[in-house]
Amino acid sequence: MALAAAINPAARTYEEDARIKHLDFLCLAHGLPSEVKNNVLEYYLPCLEPVDIADPANHVRPNWCTDNETEFLYWRHTRFIFRTDDLTRTNLDNKINAAQTFIQNILCSTNHPARLFYMQPKKKIIFDIYLKIDLSVGGVAEIDDENLEALWRLLELLNGEMGHLQLKFIWKNDMNPNDLSAATKREVAANNTGPFAPIKQNLLTIVLAAANHYTTCIHAPATINLINRWARYLSPMTAIDPATTDAHRFALARDWTNLQVSRQVGKMWTTRNKSGA
């Protein structure tokens, strides 16, 4: 099977080979389209851990990819992630720079052998948004500015193409901020069911609305005047100030967006707590 060839043979067990074949049979029996089948297989195979695009070491094919066909299958079937659990103000720029290289040379390159640029539906990058909460004091969940900043900057690199991003919201017990183990994390309503499903939907609504506004600004035509383009984020004086570069304007827009998203998330928690939900 094609997917099996995209996994490191040394990391594949007999049980995983059997599971691949069984899942492949079930997908074929139910007549699932190839893209859906691939998504099902990628999701259920533990050996297919997402590859962090912010690590330059992951920008080349693995040593076990010994021919072009195997490399093609590797890039096509490997899931990508922009890792955010270790994100800090110090390493943010380096991570974004590495992601930019990956997006330019692999994901959106028309010359890369895997031709990910032409995939439909679009090849996605997993992006985790951490809701940090100190359970020892029963505080409300908060999203770090760096986490949101990375999202908007990644969106810029993708030219506003949200279709390339797969957003996940993760509860993070922040009692010990340095503990990044799986035991401190849990996805919010992973299957879009359960008591936290409405929370996930509200969070998604807040973040997507902010992303849509930011994307509109990214795609603003050159003919639109600066005051109108930046009206949501900047004062007219700042928008037209000749000493202010577009890079600075976008930075100010991200700061404004972070503040608004944080306020809306905080308001959501306040309303929820008052209702006793």
pLDDT of residue 137: 60
Mean pLDDT, residues 37-48: 63
| CA distances for 189 relative to 48, 171, 200, angstroms | 22, 10, 7
- Give the Cβ contact number of residue 24 at 10 Å: 17
**pLDDT surpassing 90 at residue 69:** no
pLDDT of residue 138: 60
Structure tokens at 171: 């509860």
pLDDT digits (tens, 9 = 90+) for 131-152: 998 766 666 789 999 999 999 9
Mean pLDDT, residues 51-79: 89
Residue environment code for 9-19, b if the CB has 16+ CB neighbours within 10 A, otherwise e: eeeeeeebeeb
pLDDT digits (tens, 9 = 90+) for 148-185: 999 999 999 999 999 999 999 999 988 888 888 888 99
Rounded to whole angstroms, the Cα distance separating 166 from 27 reads: 23
Q: What are phi and psi of 140, to 5 degrees?
A: -85, 155
Rounded to whole angstroms, the Cα distance separating 57 from 94 reads: 13
C-beta of residue 197 within 8 angstroms of C-beta of residue 189: yes
Q: Is 194 left (phi over 0), alpha (psi -120 to 50) or beta?
A: left
Range with lowest mean pLDDT among 57-61, 63-67, 254-258: 63-67
Mean per-residue pLDDT over the chain, rounded = 88
Rounded to whole angstroms, the Cα distance separating 132 from 147 reads: 11
Q: pLDDT grade, residue 6 (50/70/90)?
A: low
Residue environment code for 194-221, b if the CB has 16+ CB neighbours within 10 A, otherwise e: eebeebbeebbebbeebbeebbebeeee
**pLDDT surpassing 60 at residue 77:** yes
pTM: 0.87
